[in-house]
Amino acid sequence: MTQPSLTKPIYILNGPNLNLLGQRQPEVYGRETLADVAQACADLAEELRFSIKALQSNHEGVLVDWIQEARLAGAAIIINPGAYSHTSVAILDALNAFEGPVIEVHISNIHKREAFRHHSYVSLRADGVIAGCGTQGYLLALRRVASLLGPR
């Protein structure tokens, strides 16, 4: 029988419009839905003996609230801030108050796209950044976080 996780969950936070994953622009963001991604992350986390808390919001302040919640309740944060990556000092400030590992994920390769996507405020805090690996980037981030948090 699988043992229940005794440690805090890894927060997987997704920002604005990522609820549309799999419904539009499959040439940029692929065909998987956000629910598919969350399930794949939950499956991998179980294999790695971690648990996850997967959340999505279109609202900057809600994302800030969840990052603050993770300060007390989370072991690490994997975040795709969506367009807020390129604009949000508030999300950067919240992440700066979080002490555990932070990995930033972008489904598309933001450096191959418009110039305004090349800069991310969140990258100033992130311990690692994954871009252009499609939704597989979330699984790569999970493996990295598991390795940073140490063996279970």
The contacts found for 126-132 with CB under 8 angstroms, 24 or more apart, are 126/79, 126/95, 126/102, 127/101, 127/102, 127/103, 128/101, 128/103, 128/104, 129/103, 129/104, 129/105, 130/103, 130/104, 130/105, 130/106, 131/105, 131/106, 132/106, 132/108
Binders of ligand CA2 in range 51-80 (CB under 6 A): 80
Q: Which stretch binds ligand CA2 (CB under 6 A): 12-20, 40-48, 54-62, 143-151?
A: 12-20
Q: How far is the CB of 72 from ligand CA2 (least distance, A)?
A: 26
Q: Which is nearer to ligand CA2, 20 or 35 (CB)?
A: 20
Point out the residues that are catalytic. Answer: 29, 106
Binders of ligand CA2 in range 21-40 (CB under 6 A): 21, 23-25, 29
Site track 99-138 with ligand CA2 (rule: CB under 6 A), x = hit: -------xxx-x------x---------------------
Cα–Cα distance measured from residue 121 to residue 137, given in angstroms and rounded to the nearest whole number? 19
Query: Is residue 92 a contact point for ligand CA2 (CB under 6 A)?
Result: no
Q: Are 114 and 48 contacting, i.e. CB atoms less than 8 angstroms apart?
A: no
Residues that bind ligand CA2 (CB under 6 A): 17-18, 20-21, 23-25, 29, 80, 82-83, 85, 106-108, 110, 117
